[in-house]
Structure 1
Amino acid sequence: MVTTPKSAKKLPFIDLYSDDDKLRKSAKTLFNYSKKYFPNSLIEELFQAIECSPPGSRTGILYYDVLSDVLPSLWTKLSLSKRNDLKIRLHEKVWLETDYETLKACSSCVSSLAGLLFPKNEWVLLFHLMFEYLGTNSSNGKLCVMLLWNELIPKCPEVFVPYVDFLIEGFTDLMPTVLEDHRSRVAAARASVKLIFLLEDLIVLVGVETAVFKVNIGVVVKYMVRIAENSKLGEKLRQLSIEFIVTLAEDREIGCGMMQMVPKEEVTKLLSVLIVMLVHIKEDPCWGNATSDDENEGQLSMCSYAMESLDRLAIALGGSVIVPCCAVGLFDLLHDQNWRIRHAAVTAIGLISEGCSKALLLEMEKLVQTIVKLIHDEHPRVCWATIRTIGQLSTYLSPRFQEQYHQQLLRALIEVLDDVDNPRLQTRAASAIQLFSQNCSADVLKPYLHNIVRKLVGFLQRGTAMMKEASLATLASLAISSQEDSAYLYDSLMPYLKVILETATNDTSRTLLAKSMECITMAAMAVGNLAINDYVEKVTAILISLHETQTVIEDPMRRLLLLECGRLCKFLGADFLSYLSLVMPVALKSALLKNYLSVSDNSDTDDSDYERDNISESKENIWSFRALKVSQMFYEVISHCT
């Protein structure tokens, strides 16, 4: 408890902090009586006590604390003249106070009242000065304004939403000027953290109560775009501002409609910001010598976030909004002299393809010629990004994309397969052909099939591990797509696949073996050829061996191997019965793994031979796609072995 100095004994209600229980109880009774019947007098007494307290004294701080507690509840009971007088006196106190501890108590008191008045626009002078003092040269003024912002941002965040961009800019300019003053620096840092929390809270709010922003949505989005545009700000703030808009757009019930009210120029600015963020990739002289084709290699965090946001925004808003807002500027960037900008532009086209497929198809006639040129760009990273984009367009613009542009694109991709100096480009081209073929008719593929197969088989003979794995995946896809030509493909492949099986050792790549199994089973299914009978035992043994080496439950290899067992059963039919005793224990073991047969909020969408339409879309009851792989294998066994 506080020991009250003798000089302060005559101050009102000082016994509220006395060590004597009787004095404290008596003071509290009088205090509560005054609150109820004499609020004007009580507030005046407290303020007089503050003014009579010695500078920097503990007594003055205690009175500020008391005043801070009672002001919000008594405010409406005070006379209008008393309210106006109190605002003026508190306003003077907070800007003139020089003692640090007293200033903290004073700013807390002012904030308790401002938090009540700012939402009602009833303390305009203080509100304006808080912004003005962000640029003051007074060290005491800087400290005071940071203390106020630190208190007020969490008290009435909705008031400051339209000024977020100004606040961030003001804080950014202020920070370098307070580095030598520890107290001001700490206050500024705390206020900045509260500002970040404000943005995070807004993102949560827009996700659950989207309609709250409906009236001022144009202004709010405008300021969020300003923050995103400001390259002087940190990544965290810029990403939060983008996340707010994307979260808003993803609300299909209300938010997407609200985005239609936002001026088109703001959407255009946001898309430009995201495309510019895509240039944040490292220049790595050894990039082409990598042993794996990692899509995320070299991406800085800003680039990764922009890729995700652009994809989500395109899906949320659709091509009717996205393509008109970015078409002209984006397509011009494809011809920029800076390789990073060309890389960003062609990457952006691939990213928006899922959400803007119809609109992009209308633009594709203008784009295809440029895309083909970029496949042979002088910079290998641009070539690689272009080939990846072709794969994305093949997925989301199919089958019209394949039907209309197969001559230009397949010929260009086949040329890349011959680029022996760039194995990474060869690998990516093989993967793009795989995606191109998955939604492509056999008639479209037929003129190119022999040439593609010949080159991919060459990869199996002479290529690196990543080239072999990519070629196997592509050949497996071609086996299904090529229909009557699948026999040619099967006959071309099997000699090399047999070599892989027969020479497999413990040192052989697990992924390469699994891809070989996939290619064998898919090719055999396509051709209906039972020549594989001689190798069934070897295939089964390798599948089981690969299963037994799985140490990570979530390894996608496990799903792939289960599918291959299902295919093996499907084309062998009753002949598979002799292998059940080997395969079923492996499948049952996978089925019993913890977290392997689990209910999940996130269904896997990759590697799906299974009818995804059968998966319930209810988030409360979506079976993990991993479980469906096990179920599918059991289904194959039951239906083809009985």
Structure 2
Amino acid sequence: MTTIPSTDEQKFLATLQECLQPDNEKRIAAEAIYQDIPDEQKIVLLMSTLRNISLGTPLRAFAAVLLRRLFQTQYENFWSKYSPDQQMALKKELLARITQIDDDETIRKKICYVVAELARNLMDENDQSQWPEVMEFLFQSANSSHSTLKESSLIIFEAFPGIFGNQAEQLTQIIHQIFLNCLNDQETKVRYTAATAFAAYLKHNCDNAQLLNIYRDCLPFLITTVTHSLGNTDDDTVLKALVDIAENVPKYLRPAVDDIFNLMLQTMQEKDKFEESRRHLALEVLITLSETASGMVRKVAKKYLNRLVPQLLEMMVDLDDDAEWSTKDTIEDEEDDSNAVVGESSLDRLACALGGKTVLNYILTTVQTMLQNPDWRYRHAGLMALSATGEGCHKEMGAMLDDLVNGILVFLKDSHPRVRYAACNALGQMSTDFQGTFQKKFHAKVIPGLLSILDDHDNPRTQAHGGAALVNFSEDCPPRLLVEHLPQIIEKLEQVLSRKYQELVHHNRKLVLEQIVTTLAAIADTVAQEFSPYYDRFMPQLKYLFKNAVSVDYRMLRGKTMECISLIGLAVGKEKVCFYH
């Protein structure tokens, strides 16, 4: 490679240091200087930084990251500017840096990623590698007595599983033996890295059934490696590799499906031993497998769903008993990785993947017990489970809708506001999942039930959710059915709108007001001209709200009010509208 004056090196090192500064101004200035350096010169300077083992690890690691980024995004701009000798020198040095086994592990790993990127770029249009030395290096390293070199070869392989290009087929036996040996290696790190590389390789060859069959004898060693990682380390890399295989090559796992279900269910149960994140990953293996190989999972479902479904529902019970939850005016998004959220979304996915014929009985058996529990969290979880199950178990739940709805309606009068909230959620979701049929069969019970929730002024979050459920119900409701209840709906919405407007003025509370405006818009949109007699009762207040809710805090309210005014105008027709008068 081109030699550079030491002064330039010193300036460059200073620039890199500034790029790592927490001070925004200094960092942005340094990044601008870096960007102005020609790409071919950057490569030389970055290689010089990597070569200098006297520098600190953070700086050299950063140089490796930048080097990889250049090969990822700018390869076409600089590679051809080097002579063949310079190109060869760079390739040799990159491989030589990996063989420095006493160097920092972080640096070596990042250089492996650089090598993988360069190898990817050096694959021609015929899938022929223009860097035969890297393949030779991989084979030698994978068979080396040094575990560090084995690990390095596997990291490169994982980063670019297509590295053998059009020679992969003729090298199948050699590659197969590498994986078999490395998955059974005495060094833990080698086995773990082999598992992740193997997952990448299977994904790369996911459509080649014949090839996957050749690697069938690696499966027991893969499962053994997953089991070992669960029992001996906090690192979830190997478990994530299993998720990847379940997602991309599920049928490869068929011979081990029983082992996988037992191992993952056991991991999920070990609350005292494992972090939540690990138990969630174990669950993800099973849910992903159910989605990608539903037929395969259905065949063994009877053995495992009586353990899996109760665990999902138990996760949904894991709620904080926050006394202020139902009175908060600002709703914060629930954490996506909380037990309750993961459990509910997983139940939804499981039902959609396997269908009601397979899962519904297991769900209902557990839910019936939960709904009788004196602890509000169990009743809440049971109702939320019914919400989550409707889409996947549509046919089976449709046949028992009368009993389900009558059972849910009871909980609109539950003593706990969050249970009442969950009942609203279930009715709202069922309105969507069983649209048309649901509205025709249950309008006489559901509409009065949801209107009663709108009187719950002590628990605005529950009150607002009643309004939201009414939106779901009305959107798919035949207009004539809604018109039957229109006087009662209008009276209730008018009462709540007036009261919540006063709460906005005096206490700056807007959650329920935003929802009631949305509910009113949905009702008007559904009943159309039938809303005309009520136009004058709402429009003056809505216009006033729109014109005066101008602060940033009221942006959402103003937008919803504008939408409501527009939908009411469209519903009643232009003759009735006098927005500008």
- TM bucket (normalised to shorter chain) is 0.5 to 0.7
Q: Does 1:485 align with 2:522?
A: no
Alpha-carbon distance in 2 for matches of 1:474, 1:412? 15
Residue 158 (structure 1) aligns with: 219
- Whole-angstrom distance in 2 between the partners of 1:521 and 1:393: 28
- Partners of 2:312 and 2:480 in 1: CA distance: 39
Among candidates 427, 430, 438, match of residue 390 of structure 1: 427
Q: 1:164 to 1:315 in 2, by over 3 A?
A: farther
* 2:329 counterpart letter in structure 1: T
| Whole-Å separation in 2 of the counterparts to 1:155 and 1:67 | 10
Letter of the 1:493 partner, please give it.
F
> Does structure 2 retain, via aligned residues, the 8 Å contact 1:476–1:519?
yes
1:153-195, Cα deviation, whole Å (9 max, x unpaired): 4446833554578646743xxxxxxxxxxxxxxxxxxx442xx
Change (3 A) 1:150 1:307: same
Alignment correspondent of 1:510: 555
Within-5 A mapping of 1:188-199: 191-193=233-235, 196-199=236-239
Q: How does 1:253-268 map to 2 (within 5 A)?
A: 255-268=293-306
The amino acid of 1:360's aligned partner reads: M
- Cα 1:300–1:249 shift into 2, 3 Å: closer
Distance 1:262 1:417 in 2: 46
Q: What do the CA deviations read for 1:543-595 (whole angstroms, capped 9, x no partner)?
A: xxxxxxxxxxxxxxxxxxxxxxxxxxxxxxxxxxxxxxxxxxxxxxxxxxxxx
Whole-Å separation in 2 of the counterparts to 1:358 and 1:295: 32
1:415 aligns with 2:452: yes
Which residue does 1:238 correspond to in 2? 279
User: Contact 2:226–2:238 (CA<8 Å) still a contact in 1?
Assistant: no
Say which of 227, 233, 255 aligns to 1:215. 255
- Residue aligning to 2:144: 69
Q: Deviations over 1:425-464 (max 9, x none)?
A: 2111111101111111122212322211222122222214
Is the aligned partner of 1:406 residue 2:406?
no
Shift of 1:415: 1.2
Q: 1:258 Cα shift?
A: 1.3
Counterpart position of 2:244: 204
Q: In structure 2, do the counterparts of structure 1 residues 209 and 230 end up closer, same or farther at CA, with 3 Å as the change threshold?
A: same
Residues 245-301 of structure 1, C-alpha deviations (whole Å, 9 max, x = no match) = 2222222xxx1221122232312321211111111211112122201345638x872
Answer yes or no: is the 8 Å Cα contact 1:473–1:515 preserved in 2. yes
Deviations 1:384-418 (A, max 9, x none): 12211211111111111122122222221111112
Question: Does residue 450 of the first structure (1) align with residue 484 of the second (2)?
Answer: no
Cα pair distance change 1:231/1:446, threshold 3 Å: same
Look up the match of 1:605: none
Q: 1:162 to 1:447 in 2, by over 3 A?
A: same
Residue 237 of structure 1 aligns to a residue in which SS?
A: helix
What does residue 541 of structure 2 align with? 496
> Is the CA contact (8 Å cut-off) linking 1:162 and 1:223 kept in structure 2?
no
Distance in structure 2 (CA, Å) of the matches to 1:71 and 1:508 = 63
**Structure 2: stretches of 5+ with no match in the other structure:** 1-139, 148-176, 196-217, 501-508
2-side partners of 1:257 and 1:264: how far apart? 13
Q: Quote how far apart the aligned CAs of 1:229 are.
A: 2.5
Q: Report the CA distance shift for 1:490/1:160 in structure 2 as closer, same or farther (over 3 A).
A: farther
Are residues 117 and 529 of structure 1, via their aligned partners in 2, closer, same or farther at CA, if it must alter by over 3 Å? closer
Q: Does 1:360 align with 2:401?
A: no
Displacement of 1:529 in angstroms is: 3.2
Distance 2:378 2:553 in 1: 40
For residues 137-148 of structure 1, the aligned pairs below 5 Å read: 148=187
How far apart in 2 are the matches of 1:414 and 1:480? 18
**Is contact 2:368–2:382 with CA below 8 Å preserved after alignment?**
yes
Q: Is the 8 A contact 2:543 2:565 kept in 1?
A: no
> Which range moves more in the overlay, 472-481 or 451-460?
451-460
Paired AA for residue 284 in structure 1: D
Q: Distance in 2 between matches of 1:302 and 1:505?
A: 39
2:566 maps to 521
Give the secondary-structure state (helix, strand or coil) at the position aligned to 2:373.
coil
Corresponding residue to 2:309 among 236, 261, 271: 271
In structure 2, the partner of 1:290 is 328
What residue identity is the alignment partner of 2:420?
C
SS of corresponding position for 1:355: coil
> Structure 2 CA distance, aligned partners of 1:155 and 1:361?
48
The offset of 1:492, in angstroms, is 2.9
The alignment status of 1:308 with 2:345, answered yes or no, reads yes
Q: Residue type matched to 1:419 in 2?
A: D
Shift of 1:346: 0.8
Q: Go from structure 1 to structure 2 and tell me whether the alpha carbon gap of 1:380 and 1:117 turns closer, same or farther (over 3 Å shift).
A: same
Aligned residues: 382
Which secondary structure does the structure 2 equivalent of 1:532 belong to? coil
For 2:555 and 2:452, locate their aligned partners in 1 and report how far apart those are by CA, in whole Å.
Answer: 30
SS in structure 1 at match of 2:285: helix
Is the 8 Å Cα contact of residues 248 and 256 (structure 1) preserved in structure 2?
yes
